[in-house]
Amino acid sequence: PFLGQDWRSPGWSWIKTEDGWKRCESCNPELGRESSQCSLSHDVMLNSEDEEIFNNEECEYASKKRKKGHFRNDTNTQSFYREKWIYVHKESTKERHGYCTLGEAFNRLDFSSAIQDIRRFTYVVKLLQLIAKSQLTSLSGVAQKNYFNILDKIVQKVLCDHQNPRLIKNLLQDLSSTLCTLIRGVGKSVLVGNINIWICRLETVLNWQQQLQNLQMTKQVNDGLTLSDLPLHTLSNILHRFSDGWDVVTLGQVTPTLYVLSEDRQLWKKLCQYHFAEKQFCRHLILSEKGHVEWKLMYFTLQKYYPTKEQYGDTLHFCRHCSILFWKDSGHPCTAADPDSCFTPVSPQHFIDLFKF
């Protein structure tokens, strides 16, 4: 008889009749209105003889099903927290019982709003990608629901503003591979939730991949200054600011001038020196017929064997004094004499490692 999530909900009012107990009125005016509308709409389709049977059985079932979906939607929205920082405790104390898990941190930190910040977007995407590769089954049911809700927001954002589609394609590719492995090997690992839920999630991911595959970039008509109108040295400086080789290749496909600038050997040499060590160059040295080092080919070869440096506009930080994880812009109530000396930037991989015991 209880409708709400709270066990103290008053529920329905019932009255005893010759045929048994029947509900006399609804405690919730909105739900009562829904039931009356349902009865009114179906009265038109039913005969007078069947009206009482339907109202007592089918309409009540339809109303319960609608209310169940209503409360499920409420649960989806309420599962998001908007905390700017959380306390990371790894053992039980008198004040705190249990420990902080990866799923709890993912639920409580404000990742839903972080994806709207261009400085944090790449950071959150990388974190979701790492979770998809190895930590998806360790999340609780609520954390998994939040994970796919945030991912849905990210995909819709990319489809709307056409920014960073390559990042999301890589994320969905890793996620679909993980889901296929989990579904095929069902029983070999513990999955939170029914197998049909995971199959639906895989179908959703495949649908997102198809939408991104069909994404068409709209050509912007602008009579003002464009990228092609900038001087060559300015365009070269822009290319030298990129830390991802694929971004250089993509920009080089815009115009013939940018293509020539994107093939500059010094540009690729600096990218290799930024991401990789000199010892790694010696192991995978690639020379041309003239004896020159093929820096562009070396960059993509080294990328297959070694991880590249990660660069983010804004990251989570960890306070070693307070054991608090927080967004740098938001800060946290630190009790240290010199708080800045206690702060450590947290990479996506470090974020996951914090909750390994």
Supply the angle between the helices 165-184 and 118-130 in degrees, to the nearest 10. Answer: 20
Q: Is 49 exposed, middle or buried (0-12, 13-18, 19+ CB in 10 A)?
A: exposed
Contact 106, 80 (CB under 8 A): no
Alpha carbons within 13 angstroms on the beta-carbon side of residue 290 total 3
Residue type, position 133, single letter: K
What is the value of pTM for the model shown? 0.69
**pLDDT tens, the chain, 357 aa long:** 445 455 555 556 777 787 787 776 544 444 444 444 444 343 434 444 444 443 455 445 444 444 444 434 434 444 455 677 888 876 666 655 556 788 888 888 888 888 888 888 999 999 999 999 988 888 888 888 989 999 999 999 999 988 888 889 999 999 999 999 888 877 676 778 788 888 999 999 999 999 998 888 776 666 677 888 888 999 999 999 888 888 899 889 888 999 999 999 999 999 998 898 888 888 888 877 777 888 889 898 888 888 888 888 888 888 888 888 888 777 777 878 887 788 888 888 888 888 876
Q: Which two tokens stand for residue 33?
A: 């209105």
* Alpha-carbon gap, residue 208 to 200, rounded angstroms: 12
Closest CA to 135 of 352, 325, 357, 354: 352
* Alpha-carbon gap, residue 93 to 22, rounded angstroms: 50
- For 331: left if phi > 0, alpha if psi spans -120 to 50, otherwise beta; the answer is left
Q: Which two tokens stand for residue 211?
A: 């939408």
